[in-house]
Structure 1
Amino acid sequence: MLLTKFTHSCVRLEKDGAVLVIDPGTFSEVEEALAGAGTVLVTHVHADHYDADRLVAALAASPELTVHAPRQVVEELAPRVADTDRLHAVEADGEFTAGPFTVRTYGGQHALIHPLIPTIENVGYVVDGAVFHPGDSFTVPQGLTVPTVLVPLHAPWSKMSEVIDFVIATRATRVHQIHDALLSETGFGVVEKQVSHFAGVYGTEYQHLDPRESLEIAPA
């Protein structure tokens, strides 16, 4: 399975001629990521993970495209989409297939930003048991070790110690960063030095991916 990282939290997975895209948000190269896609997974309703306008345009242009997302996202999209059967509401602790991909869902709630800001739904996705995209959450899939984990590297809702603890808890073979659009070159240097070091102490390889960089993900 080929994984391509785009800016921030958007990733594209390709397998057997099928394309699945996770979190095509406003910071990302949405049209490029969605080219030829059959499935979009959205972790939550925030715009940096879900560009409603461009996703609606993609649905109009591609009759085969389907979306799996928390109910809040589906409810926002439904009035703007002619065929709502292509929109599928998902919750944590579920499983479904999307073309050749098998998807399991985890989590349920966005990480706390501030006690005065209400929490929202957040669903993390494990694809083919091989790669985990947590969205905006540090929830670790229960009873499952996923070889490749995408780690939210920097966010208004997190601190570096939480990032490190999440990486350690996943016991992944390797991790790659997402949720990184707000970091400067200096910020990357500071955060990645520590995350990479502590990941290595616990036997996990940290590998930075630039936007549009691809790599093969081994089967689980």
Structure 2
Amino acid sequence: MLLTKFSHSCVRLEQDGSVLVIDPGSFSEVEEALEGAAAILVTHEHPDHIDLDRVVAVLAADRSLHLWAPSGVADAVTRGLGDAAGDRIHAVAGGEEFSAAGFDVRTFGGQHALIHPLIPMIANVGFLVRGAGGSGGAGGSVYHPGDSFVVPDGTDVGTLLVPVHAPWSKLAEVVDFVASVRAPRAFQIHDALLNETGLGMVEGHVTRLGGRYGTAFRHLGVREGVEV
């Protein structure tokens, strides 16, 4: 499976001619990431994870494209598409399994990490994606937690996507998340708010401390791809 990193939290997965994209948000190269895609997964409603207008425009132009997201996102996309929505927009919560564009998907969690007690909580779903039929085993799985540090239970993770910086997190939580999941390899997401200095500091800690728990962390540049 080929994983391509786009800006911030957007990633593209490709296998056997099928393409699935997670979190095409406002900081990301939405149209480029979605080119040729058959499925979109959205973890939650914040605009840095779904650029609603641009995603709706792509869905309107391609009637074969499906989307899975928490109900609030699914409802907003359905309203934006109107009659063009058809049966292509799917509401999901934590604890579900489904197939999307030839990939097997499991969902985890259900709640966005706390930003501040005065800011209302919203739904957030983490996605564990692997090739159809579980091809590649745990080593071929990719876990995107969205805006949360929910550790997927009852399964091993081959590739972990790590939110390295956010208004809702601190470095200790980032490191603990990596240590808890213990995936063999990890790459960064949710990195658009850090400059080069801050990113280097955070990723240095994740590399050094995560390595103690068997996780090899590597930075991926925008549009850089890697086989997982």
Q: Is TM-score (shorter-chain normalized) higher than 0.5?
A: yes
How far, CA to CA, are the matches of 1:143 and 1:97 in structure 2? 19
1:127 aligns with 2:147: no
Match of 2:134 in 1: none
SS in 2 for 1:77: helix
How far the C-alpha of 1:98 sits from its partner, in A, is: 1.1
| Structure 2 unpaired stretches of 5+ | 131-137
2:107 to 100, 105, 108: 105
SS in 2 for 1:195: helix
Matches within 5 A, 1:68-83: 68-81=68-81, 82-83=84-85
How far the C-alpha of 1:150 sits from its partner, in A, is: 0.1
Matches within 5 A, 1:19-98: 19-81=19-81, 82-98=84-100
SS in 1 for 2:183: coil
How far, CA to CA, are the matches of 2:163 and 2:156 in structure 1? 18
Match of 1:117 in 2: 119
Report the TM-score when normalising by structure 2: 0.94
How far the C-alpha of 1:171 sits from its partner, in A, is: 1.0
How far, CA to CA, are the matches of 2:60 and 2:71 in structure 1? 20
Match of 1:186 in 2: 197
Report the TM-score when normalising by structure 1: 0.97
1:172 to 164, 180, 183: 183
Deviations for 1:152-193, whole angstroms, at most 9, x for unmatched residues? Answer: 000010000000000000010011000000000000111111
Match of 1:195 in 2: 206
How far, CA to CA, are the matches of 1:183 and 1:99 in structure 2? 33
How far, CA to CA, are the matches of 1:208 and 1:83 in structure 2? 37
Match of 1:137 in 2: 148
Deviations for 1:28-53, whole angstroms, at most 9, x for unmatched residues? Answer: 00000000000000000000000000
How far, CA to CA, are the matches of 2:24 and 2:77 in structure 1? 14
Q: Which consecutive aligned stretches of 4+ in structure 1 deviate over 3 angstroms post-superposition?
A: none
How far the C-alpha of 1:83 sits from its partner, in A, is: 2.4
How far, CA to CA, are the matches of 1:79 and 1:117 in structure 2? 25
How far the C-alpha of 1:63 sits from its partner, in A, is: 1.1
Higher deviation after alignment, 44-53 or 195-204: 195-204
Higher deviation after alignment, 80-89 or 93-102: 80-89
| Structure 1 unpaired stretches of 5+ | none
Higher deviation after alignment, 120-129 or 35-44: 120-129
Q: Which amino acid aligns with 2:59?
A: L
1:162 to 173, 177, 197: 173
How far the C-alpha of 1:100 sits from its partner, in A, is: 1.4
How far, CA to CA, are the matches of 2:79 and 2:27 in structure 1? 24
1:208 aligns with 2:210: no
How far the C-alpha of 1:60 sits from its partner, in A, is: 1.1
Deviations for 1:67-107, whole angstroms, at most 9, x for unmatched residues? Answer: 00000001111122122311000010000001210000001
Q: Which amino acid aligns with 2:169?
A: S
